[in-house]
Structure 1
Amino acid sequence: MYTFLIAIILLVIGYFTYGKFVEKVFGVNEGRTTPAYANQDNVDYLPMNSKKNSLIQLLNIAGVGPIFGPIMGALYGPVAFLWIVFGCIFAGAVHDYLTGMISIRNRGAHLPELAGKFLGNVMKHVVNVFAVLLLVLVGTVFVSAPAELLFSLSNGWTTMSLILAAIFVYFIIATLLPVDKIIGRVYPFLGALLLISALGVGGMLVFTGAPIPELSFTNLHPDNAPIFPLLFLTISCGALSGFHATQTPIISRTTQNEKQGRKIFYGMMIAEGIIAMIWAAAAMSLFNGPAGLNELLADGGPAAIVSEASTLMLGAVGGTLAVLGVIVLPITSGDTAFRSARMIIADYIKLPQKKWRSRLWIALPLFAISFVLTNIDFELLWRYFSWANQSTAVIALWVGSMYLFIAKKNYWIAMIPGIFMTMATTTYILNAPIGFGLPMNLSYIGAAIATIIVTVLFFQAAKKARANQLPLEENINDKNNVA
């Protein structure tokens, strides 16, 4: 219990200390016009207040990641708490803040555009494909997960196919409508439901004196799986998630003032870390240790853990409300995943999104692909999602490093987590069955060599970009090439 409580306190302290430090390093300009005003089109670009933006951002980035990931990461024991706390403060929240703020400085640009500007045109094309692939995977995962939870609540009065169809219909509507019509009006209330349900479970864990294990370095290898790199890909949302880099530009296009960035981008990542801590603690304490947790995961997956834990902590009615709060997460991240994919493709092909027909013909093929993918096993989808997700985070961290290097600011705040996660993601794909299937020792060596090469190439490119005085910001009055 002490480890859990201290971890929550550290996350809150991190927002007020390291978050403020990162904000100071970046250097906000309160007088600079944001894209919400400079490029206002009342579809994707329009100003909304910081409270609304914060709750929307939380729902956008959360998905099932800070719940399902920590539940599966709980198999590693309390060492998972360390990654959630330090990963969130020093990696995830930095990643979200820098991505959001650099996007604000560049007309609300998405990650492919930022990668093209700061890492080269080749990376723009690579990241564009990678980001759209990730978002389609995210959208698919975030259809399947809530559908399973809703099906379990329905007691057989409906079918899985009907639930999937209903979610896809909602996704289509939310993706095509202007951001303030559904997302801007409904999400703040859903954000409150999410927070209340998570805090309800967390409060009951403390009130009932649940046997949350203390930090220990014993039994850290479930099924002989090494902590590095698996823990750092299993728990992504709640610690560090590249999916967030695809979501922050949605809100960078609605942010009124740069000063709001720390609350919206850094702060909501800290909130997500707290949610992840609560669900990791619940998974560790309520099912008779790793053996019981593993058994329940094998029977019904993370969704079964959510349902069981919610009912145990909050009773039938409260548990149902908590499950509804969890269902909200993936649905509200799934629709913005498709919205973000639409915006990225539109930016790439330079197609303005003012007309609904322009939005429709980009979005419909994405939904068709996703619907086909719902027939694939969830665990396999999650593995590919986890790797693609963290690889996207790596790219975003290198973009942040380049921006700060050129600006002659403390680029190490982005570069250190960038190097660490480059090593982790490369090790994973070299070793994993879904990758190259190499022995772990060879994977470590190969990943170390690859990480060194990437770091050397970064410094070469960064010094050249600084010497050539690559512009860090777009002209706020230039509305050309804005989709």
Structure 2
Amino acid sequence: MIIFFTSVALLVAGYFVYGAVVDRIFEPDETRPTPAVTHTDGVDFVEMKEWKIYLVQLLNIAGLGPIFGPILGALYGPSALLWIVFGTIFGGAVHDYFSGMLSIRSEGKSIPDVVGYNLGYFFKQFMRVLSVVLLLLVGVVFVLGPAKLLTNMTGISVPILVGIIFAYYFVATILPIDKIIGKVYPIFGAVLIFMAAGLIIALIAKGYHFFPEKTLANINPQKLPLWPLMFITIACGAISGFHATQSPLMARCLPNEKMGRKVFYGAMVGEGIIALVWATLGLSFYQNVEGLNAALAIGGPAYVVNEISTTLLGGFGGLLAVVGVIILPISSGDTAFRSARLIIADMLNFDQKPHLKRLMICVPLFIVGFLITKSNFGVIWRYFGWANQTLAAVVLWSAAAYLIKLGKFHWIASVPATFMTAVTVTYLAYAKIGFGLDIQISTYIGIVAAVVAVIAFFVAFRKRVSTEEAESITA
């Protein structure tokens, strides 16, 4: 129990200490008009209250991420807690903060344009493709998962339920952000927090022993390597590139730059705490990773969520489980498609105030999404994991480039960017969806790639500085 509450305390302290450092380095300006003020359109650029933006941001970046990921990551043992805590403070929260604040400084643009401003044309186009693909994968994953669970509960066929969920997505994607998302999602965000708090209190009240297996060794029952798989498996609870596609949604609604730390850095810390809860439940409820692995073999993370919730909280817990594994992913799926619409709109320079122009993007987008649902779910999920963390690495490099150009302390972004580069390249070299190489060789490739990325970063910066100095002398 002490380990859990110490971990929570570290996350809270990270927000107040390191979050303040990051905020001071960025230097938000409360007198600077935000895009919500300068680009108000009643659709995507809509001023909202700070507490409401925080809860919507939390729900947008969360969904099933801080639940399923930590449950699967718990198979590696208590080391998962270290990744959640330090990954959140020094990686995920920094990533989310800059993806939101740089969007504000870029007139509310989507993340590919933000990256393009800082890393150049190639990365802008790369991010456009990667972001839209990632968002389609997220949207599809968060259609198929709830649809299959609802089929088990109701007997209604999966295709019919997929159609119903897609119909809701379509409506939520084209309506103004304050009509559904701004009104209903703060409630679901509060439910997510309540669910996590209630379960950990019940775990204590029922006398469960916290973390019976107190070791930092890899105790994965399937003998899977901790590096780099745990850092891919636990994404949304530590660092996730998907968040970078969501932060601009709320960047368009923030009335004051000073709110950025609470909304962006703070929401990620909140998600980190929720991830801690579910990793702790996975490690403590079953008392060992073999028990957790056996439960996962029966019905995956959704089964684990249902069993833990109903056992600890009874019938009410079952209701929370339904909210957790059905409503929450749907609430992230629709914002995924909304983000995809906005990225495509920015790319085509389509004004999104007219209904017709929103439909011109949404109709083909949802047709493609529906076609992807016909693919193998397991394959979709594996590609999602790699694409997700690759996007996170690129966004962190973009933040580092922004800081170094202004002569600010770039290491807060470039260090986690280097780490995530090593993670994603190692995973691509090792995983079956990549090259299927030996883990040791894959690790060497990942380290070399990270070193090359660092060298390229500094070389590119020095060339840019030299060019700018030459132009200033010529002028």
TM-score bracket for this pair, using the shorter chain length: over 0.9
- CA shift at 1:407, angstroms? 1.3
* Cα distance between partner residues in 1 of 2:147 and 2:273: 25
- CA shift at 1:48, angstroms? 0.8
2:228 alignment partner, SS class: helix
Return the TM-score normalized by structure 2.
0.95
1:223 alignment partner, SS class: coil
* Cα distance between partner residues in 2 of 1:467 and 1:104: 28
Counterpart check, 1:53 vs 2:53:
yes
Q: Check conservation: 2:426, 2:445, Cα contact below 8 A.
A: yes
Which residue does 1:13 correspond to in 2? Answer: 13
- CA shift at 1:162, angstroms? 2.5
Q: Which amino acid aligns with 2:308?
A: A
Q: Which amino acid aligns with 1:84?
A: I
Which residue does 1:38 correspond to in 2? Answer: 38
Question: Is the alpha carbon distance of 1:215 and 1:415 closer, same or farther for their aligned partners in structure 2, counting shifts above 3 Å?
Answer: farther
Which residue does 2:280 correspond to in 1? Answer: 281
Cα deviation, 1:326-383, whole Å, max 9, x if unaligned, reads 4232111100000000000110111111111111121122222222222333332221
Which region of structure 1 is more displaced relative to structure 2, 360-369 or 180-189? 360-369
Q: Which amino acid aligns with 1:327?
A: I
- CA shift at 1:146, angstroms? 2.1
Question: Is the alpha carbon distance of 1:295 and 1:409 closer, same or farther for their aligned partners in structure 2, counting shifts above 3 Å?
Answer: same
* Cα distance between partner residues in 1 of 2:110 and 2:364: 20
1:240 alignment partner, SS class: coil
Q: Which amino acid aligns with 2:360?
A: W
2:222 alignment partner, SS class: helix
- CA shift at 1:207, angstroms? 2.1
* Cα distance between partner residues in 2 of 1:370 and 1:210: 43
Which residue does 1:380 correspond to in 2? Answer: 379
Q: Check conservation: 1:136, 1:370, Cα contact below 8 A.
A: yes
Q: Check conservation: 2:69, 2:233, Cα contact below 8 A.
A: yes
- CA shift at 1:199, angstroms? 1.4
Q: Check conservation: 1:84, 1:276, Cα contact below 8 A.
A: yes
Which region of structure 1 is more displaced relative to structure 2, 216-225 or 54-63? 216-225
Select 1:208's aligned residue among 203, 206, 209.
206
Q: Which amino acid aligns with 2:146?
A: P
Which residue does 2:172 correspond to in 1? Answer: 174
Q: Check conservation: 1:50, 1:260, Cα contact below 8 A.
A: yes
* Cα distance between partner residues in 1 of 2:308 and 2:413: 36
1:178 alignment partner, SS class: coil
Question: Is the alpha carbon distance of 1:235 and 1:371 closer, same or farther for their aligned partners in structure 2, counting shifts above 3 Å?
Answer: same
Q: Check conservation: 1:148, 1:303, Cα contact below 8 A.
A: no
**Aligned runs of 1:301-316 on 2, under 5 Å?**
301-316=300-315
Cα deviation, 1:131-155, whole Å, max 9, x if unaligned, reads 000000010111122223333443x
Q: Check conservation: 1:19, 1:266, Cα contact below 8 A.
A: yes
Q: Check conservation: 1:45, 1:254, Cα contact below 8 A.
A: yes
- CA shift at 1:324, angstroms? 1.1
Which residue does 2:353 correspond to in 1? Answer: 354
1:140 alignment partner, SS class: helix
- CA shift at 1:243, angstroms? 0.1
| Matched pairs, number | 468
1:283 alignment partner, SS class: helix
- CA shift at 1:219, angstroms? 4.3
Which residue does 1:324 correspond to in 2? Answer: 323
**Aligned runs of 1:244-283 on 2, under 5 Å?**
244-283=243-282
List gaps (5 residues or longer) in structure 2: 470-475
Q: Check conservation: 1:401, 1:415, Cα contact below 8 A.
A: yes
- CA shift at 1:95, angstroms? 0.4
Counterpart check, 1:190 vs 2:206:
no
Which residue does 1:454 correspond to in 2? Answer: 453
Which residue does 1:91 correspond to in 2? Answer: 91
- CA shift at 1:82, angstroms? 0.4
Q: Check conservation: 2:36, 2:255, Cα contact below 8 A.
A: yes
Q: Check conservation: 1:92, 1:240, Cα contact below 8 A.
A: yes
Q: Which amino acid aligns with 2:254?
A: T
Q: Check conservation: 2:218, 2:225, Cα contact below 8 A.
A: no
Q: Check conservation: 2:72, 2:233, Cα contact below 8 A.
A: yes
Q: Check conservation: 2:218, 2:226, Cα contact below 8 A.
A: no
Cα deviation, 1:107-158, whole Å, max 9, x if unaligned, reads 011111112111110111111001000000010111122223333443x3x3
Question: Is the alpha carbon distance of 1:363 and 1:215 closer, same or farther for their aligned partners in structure 2, counting shifts above 3 Å?
Answer: farther
Q: Check conservation: 2:11, 2:272, Cα contact below 8 A.
A: yes
Cα deviation, 1:135-186, whole Å, max 9, x if unaligned, reads 00010111122223333443x3x33222222111110000011111111111
Cα deviation, 1:191-221, whole Å, max 9, x if unaligned, reads 1122111211122122223222164123434
RMSD: 1.6
Q: Check conservation: 1:79, 1:215, Cα contact below 8 A.
A: no
Which residue does 1:475 correspond to in 2? Answer: none
Q: Which amino acid aligns with 2:199?
A: V
Q: Check conservation: 1:243, 1:389, Cα contact below 8 A.
A: yes
Which residue does 1:114 correspond to in 2? Answer: 114
Question: Is the alpha carbon distance of 1:313 and 1:151 closer, same or farther for their aligned partners in structure 2, counting shifts above 3 Å?
Answer: farther
Which residue does 1:162 correspond to in 2? Answer: 160
Q: Which amino acid aligns with 1:401?
A: A
Which region of structure 1 is more displaced relative to structure 2, 203-212 or 111-120? 203-212
2:368 alignment partner, SS class: helix
- CA shift at 1:317, angstroms? 2.5
Q: Check conservation: 1:201, 1:313, Cα contact below 8 A.
A: yes
2:272 alignment partner, SS class: helix
Cα deviation, 1:413-471, whole Å, max 9, x if unaligned, reads 1111100010010000011110011122221222222211111111122233445569x
Which residue does 2:427 correspond to in 1? Answer: 428
Q: Check conservation: 1:194, 1:328, Cα contact below 8 A.
A: no
Return the TM-score normalized by structure 1.
0.94
Counterpart check, 1:368 vs 2:370:
no
* Cα distance between partner residues in 1 of 2:235 and 2:353: 34
Which residue does 1:403 correspond to in 2? Answer: 402
Q: Check conservation: 2:220, 2:289, Cα contact below 8 A.
A: no
- CA shift at 1:411, angstroms? 0.6
- CA shift at 1:187, angstroms? 1.0
* Cα distance between partner residues in 2 of 1:219 and 1:443: 18
* Cα distance between partner residues in 2 of 1:112 and 1:252: 15
Which region of structure 1 is more displaced relative to structure 2, 73-82 or 186-195? 186-195
- CA shift at 1:306, angstroms? 0.9
* Cα distance between partner residues in 2 of 1:31 and 1:11: 30
Q: Which amino acid aligns with 1:194?
A: L
Which residue does 2:473 correspond to in 1? Answer: none
Q: Check conservation: 1:405, 1:466, Cα contact below 8 A.
A: no
* Cα distance between partner residues in 2 of 1:310 and 1:80: 21
1:265 alignment partner, SS class: helix
Which residue does 1:478 correspond to in 2? Answer: none
Q: Check conservation: 2:219, 2:289, Cα contact below 8 A.
A: no
* Cα distance between partner residues in 1 of 2:24 and 2:221: 41
- CA shift at 1:101, angstroms? 0.6
Which residue does 1:480 correspond to in 2? Answer: none
